[in-house]
Amino acid sequence: ILTSSCRNFSIIAHIDHGKSTLADRSLTGTIDKKGKGNQQFLDKLKVERDRGITDENLTPHSMIHTYNGQRYLLNLIDTPGHVDFSWEVSRSLAACQGALLLVDATQGVQAQSLSVFHVAKDRGLEIVPILNKIDLPAAQPNLIAAQMHSTFDITPDPDPILRISAKTGLGVEAVLKAIIERVPPPQILSEGKGERGGEGRFKGFLFDSSYDRYRGVISLVSVQSGVLRKGDKIQSHHTRKRYDVIDLGIMSPEEVSTESLREGQVGYVTCNMKESSEAHIGDTLHRVGELVDPMPGFKPSKAMVYAGVFPVDSNDFPKLEESIKRLTLTDRSVTISRESSTALGQGCRLGFLGTLHMDVFRQRLEDEYDASIIVTAPTVPYKVVYKDKKEKFVSNPTDFPDVLDSSGKVKEVQEPIVTASIIVPEEYLGEMMDLCFTHRATAMDHRYLDSSGRILLTAVLPLSEIVTDFFDKLKSRSSGFASFDYEDAGYQASNLVKMSFLLNSKPVDALALIVHRSAEQEVGRLWVKKLHKVIPRQLFEVPIQAAVGNKIVARETLSAVRADVTAGLYGGHYERKLKHLNNQKESKKKMKRIGNVDLPQEAFFDILSTK
Ligand code: GDP
Ligand code: MG
């Protein structure tokens, strides 16, 4: 098959809008009769369902389709359904020339499809808009088509939107036709043409990888030029590491081993690569000794949300760390470092691509580790800019510069900001604007998506404002109707301060927070109240204070308790008395002593845990 007859495309869809059904139907012509659809439905992680994304990987499918007497090779390349994985999204889209934009005719456009659509559009991909599920009585194809015209900036005349039912097969033939006619073939680079008998130098673009216990890393590669064969010696442009190609082939949709992978093709490659961290998404592979220009714009994914993870029982740290390491074998985008805290003991600090990524990992970790963990409130990477123009990223409040900054070297502090998109029925617009406003939104804007009153609200917000409970509030204040997504919008200078908490005038390291100046009173009061509730009374009075620099912004006082707690118990209750004493001994062991104050470990769990 000639390169001009190859089509590489992906499907952009919100969860349950029919991506898997269309993939099965169009590329194999059949629907799995074993009720696989149902099983998939059950298998998905709850967080993913709640958040409306799909993290399940569609393996790339390849199929031959005959159209107008000519044979075409169609390659479906999967993209993560969420821009938390924006790096992966943009890399897998880089291996495609077109994208099917699939929207459920009963549900309409959702925020997640919108953000992935923007990435595809920016990359210059040919977009094939499709309305799915038109067989359902509840389908509103005309209304949803109007939504698509306005949201995706599609000219309605002639209307390019295909109307199909992936389930019944209605209109699926037209989808294949549109892929062939509208999506351009891959552009072949002519690097080193004429060498090796005219086939040119091999250049492969690594756009995805998976891990198999027996075979090691399985890389998905789109061949930009030349041919790759079994036994070839290849090299990573990024790491300079060398490998022997053990097996390669196409996905149809199961792996089918082939002799070679040629330019324009997309397939899998296994070699002696042992760790997923060696497979850098966006990397360029070439034959040893044959230099090629790497694919442009390679950058490793960057963690945007950090949280500390600690075992509830500190003896379990090795077990927790092992579980984390095992999970990162299959999720290379999580960064790990060790962290220790006076309050919580030994733990790990993990970095995630976004809040959804964090929630998904957390749920996997809880399943894998099978014991309780404490996840501390998430923080974002702040940028400290010094007067000598040096910059430093700080994600742990302990490392944040003090407001007093006696050195005078700090010019400003910047925080990551995002552009949020919220799609919601108009009656909730006020609630949503209010929610964004209380989360320090600037530059809010909204417009109607269609005549039924659905609205797209966009707002620029600090990332730190959406990493905790923003999503839950959004859902509850819109009765579950709002869909939400966000995109990275760079860094912005901000008036941020470090808040410390003092017990009996001594600071507690694990409790430090970074807050916006405008919220210092409110946050300080809230936390001081929380502490007051969970800290047991001591033999003496304990002031609990929130401080910014040397200014106290909030205070509560824990009154003293009488020395002998058994004093009230008399003779007849000897047993009870004994039990009480034992309890006291028992809890003594788990006490942390800060500023002369005895704190039970549980107090920290209550305060620091995000659950
Ligand atoms: P995905 O999450 O985007 O991969 O969605 P699925 O392909 O798993 O489909 C979600 C659900 O919608 C499944 O129960 C499918 O059977 C159903 N479905 C998909 N396409 C259609 C369609 O055209 N018509 C109807 N009635 N149901 C569909
Ligand atoms: Mg699916």
The answer, yes or no, to whether residue 263 has pLDDT greater than 90, is: no
Distance (Å) from CA 581 to ligand 1 centroid? 62
DSSP track, 162-207: EE--TTT-TTHHHHHHHHHHHSPPPPPP-TTBTBGGGT---EEEEE
**Residue-level pLDDT at 401:** 83
Which residue is it, tokens 């092992």? 322
pTM, to two decimals: 0.71
Report pLDDT for 29: 46
**Is pLDDT of 376 > 90?**
no
Round to whole Å and give the CA distance between 45 and 609. 22
**pLDDT at residue 43, rounded to an integer:** 40
Three-class DSSP category at 498: strand
Atom of ligand 1 nearest to the CA of 132: 23
* Cβ 133 under 6 angstroms from ligand 1: yes
Q: Is the pLDDT of residue 27 over 80?
A: no
Shortest-distance atom of ligand 1 to CA 22: 7
Give tens-digit pLDDT for 502-534.
988 888 877 888 999 999 999 999 999 988 888
Average pLDDT over every residue of 544-551: 92
Hey, whose CA ends up nearest to atom 13 of ligand 1?
37
Residue 240 CA to residue 261 CA, distance in Å, equals 22
Tell whether the torsion through CA atoms of 165, 170, 171 and 172 is positive or negative.
Answer: positive
- The pick from 101, 134, 163, 167 for probing ligand 1's pocket by mutation, whose C-beta has the most ligand atoms within 8 angstroms, reads 167
- 594 or 222: whose pLDDT is higher? 222
Which residues contact residue 189 at a Cβ distance below 8 angstroms, ignoring those fewer than 6 apart?
Answer: 200, 203, 224, 225
Does the CB atom of residue 165 touch ligand 1 within 6 A? yes
For residue 165, give the ligand 1 atom closest to its CA. 23
> Across residues 457-486, what is the average pLDDT?
90
Q: Give the pLDDT band (50/70/90) at residue 474.
A: very high
Whether 17 lines ligand 1, by a CB cut-off of 6 Å, is yes
| Full DSSP string of 548-598 | ETTEEEEEEEEPP--S-TTTT--GGGHHHHHHHHHHHHHHHHTEEEETTEE
Whether the predicted pLDDT of 598 surpasses 90: no
Distance 381 CA to ligand 1 centre (A): 39
**What's residue 546's pLDDT?**
95
Instruction: State mean pLDDT over 397-413.
Output: 79
Mutate to test the pocket of ligand 1, among 14, 15, 16 (most ligand atoms within 8 A of CB): 16
Q: How far apart are CA 349 and CA 29, in angstroms?
A: 47
**Class of residue 137 by CB neighbours under 10 A (exposed 0-12, middle 13-18, buried 19+):** exposed
Ligand nearest to the CA of 167: 1
The fraction of the chain above a pLDDT of 90, given in percent, is 36
Q: 599 or 217: which carries more pLDDT confidence?
A: 217
595: Cβ contacts below 8 Å, ≥ 6 apart: 502, 503, 504, 505, 506, 508
C-beta of 132 in contact with ligand 1 (< 6 A) = yes
Q: Which are the contacts of 127, defined by CB distance < 8 A and separation ≥ 6?
A: 98, 99, 101, 117, 120, 121, 152
| Pocket of ligand 1 contains residue 54 by CB under 6 Å | yes
Residue 37 alpha carbon to ligand 1 centre in Å: 8
Q: Is the CB of 21 under 6 A from ligand 1?
A: yes
How much distance in Å is there from the Cα of 249 to the middle of ligand 1? 29
ipTM for the predicted complex comes to 0.98
Band (pLDDT 50/70/90 cuts) for residue 16 is confident
Predicted confidence (pLDDT) at residue 595 exceeds the cutoff of 80? no
Helix, strand, coil % in the chain, rounded to nearest 5: 30, 35, 35
Tell me the mean pLDDT in the region 239-247.
94
Look at strands 551-558 and 591-594 and give their pairing: unpaired
CA distance linking residue 465 with residue 467, whole number of Å: 6
The reported pLDDT for the residue numbered 51 is 60
Supply φ then ψ for residue 540, to 5 degrees: -135, 170
Q: Which pairs with CB-CB distance under 8 Å and at least 24 residues apart come from 156-163?
A: 160/128, 160/129, 161/129, 161/130, 161/131, 162/128, 162/129, 162/130, 162/131, 163/105, 163/130, 163/131, 163/134
* Rounded distance between C-alpha atoms, residue 382 and residue 392, angstroms: 8
Predicted local confidence at residue 58, as pLDDT? 52
Q: What is the pLDDT of residue 104?
A: 96
Cα 24 to ligand 1 centroid, rounded to whole Å: 11
Residue 54 CA, closest ligand 1 atom number: 2
Structural contact between residues 180 and 67, judged by C-beta atoms closer than 8 angstroms = yes
- Distance (angstroms) between ligand 1 centre and the Cα of 316 equals 43
Ligand 1 atom with the shortest distance to the CA of 81: 3
In tens, the pLDDT along 409-467 reads 889 999 999 999 999 999 999 999 999 999 999 889 999 988 888 999 999 999 999 88
CA of 49 to the centre of ligand 1 (A): 14
Q: How far, in Å, is the centroid of ligand 2 from the Cα of 58? A: 7
User: Which pLDDT tens digit goes with each residue over 97-140?
Assistant: 999 999 999 999 988 788 788 888 888 899 999 999 999 999 99
Tell me which DSSP letter residue 157 carries: S
pLDDT for the residue numbered 588? 45
Average pLDDT in the chain: 82
C-alpha dihedral over 585, 587, 590, 592, to 10 degrees? Answer: -90
Report the C-alpha gap between 313 and 297 in whole angstroms.
44
Query: At 361, is the pLDDT very low, low, confident or very high (cuts 50, 70, 90)?
Result: confident
Ligand 1 atom closest to Cα of residue 21: 7
Which has the higher per-residue pLDDT, 166 or 195? Answer: 166
DSSP annotation string for 118-137? HHHHHTTPEEEEEEE-TTST
pLDDT in tens, 312-349: 888 889 999 999 988 887 677 788 988 887 777 889 99
pLDDT over 80 (residue 252)? no
Tell me which range, 15-29, 424-438, 493-507, is most confidently predicted by mean pLDDT: 424-438
For the CA of 56, the nearest ligand: 2
* Sign of torsion over alpha carbons 515, 517, 518, 519: positive
Confidence tier at 587 by pLDDT (50, 70, 90): very low
Ligand 1 center to 42 CA (angstroms): 13
Residue with more model confidence, 19 or 85: 19
- Mean pLDDT along residues 249-278: 85
- Whether 576 has a pLDDT exceeding 70, the answer reads no
Cβ atoms of residues 489 and 443 within 8 Å:
no
**What type of residue sits at position 150?**
S
Kindly state if the Cβ of 167 falls inside 6 Å of ligand 1. Answer: yes
Q: Give the distance (Å) from ligand 1 centre to CA of residue 21.
A: 6
Q: Stretch 53-77: mean pLDDT, rounded?
A: 75
C-alpha 21/C-alpha 37 separation (Å) is: 8
Q: What is the pLDDT of residue 178?
A: 96
Ligand 1 within 6 A of CB of 23:
no
**Residue appearing with tokens 């690569």:** 273
How would DSSP label each residue in 387-439? TTS-EEEE-SGGGSPPTT-TT--EEEEEEEEEEEEEEEEGGGHHHHHHHHHHT
Neighbours of 450 (CB within 10 A): 20
For the chain, give the percent of residues with pLDDT over 70: 81
pLDDT of residue 41: 36
Question: How is 52-119 classified by DSSP, letter by letter?
Answer: T---SPPPPEEEEEEETTEEEEEEE----SSGGGHHHHHHHHHT-SEEEEEEETTT---HHHHHHHHH
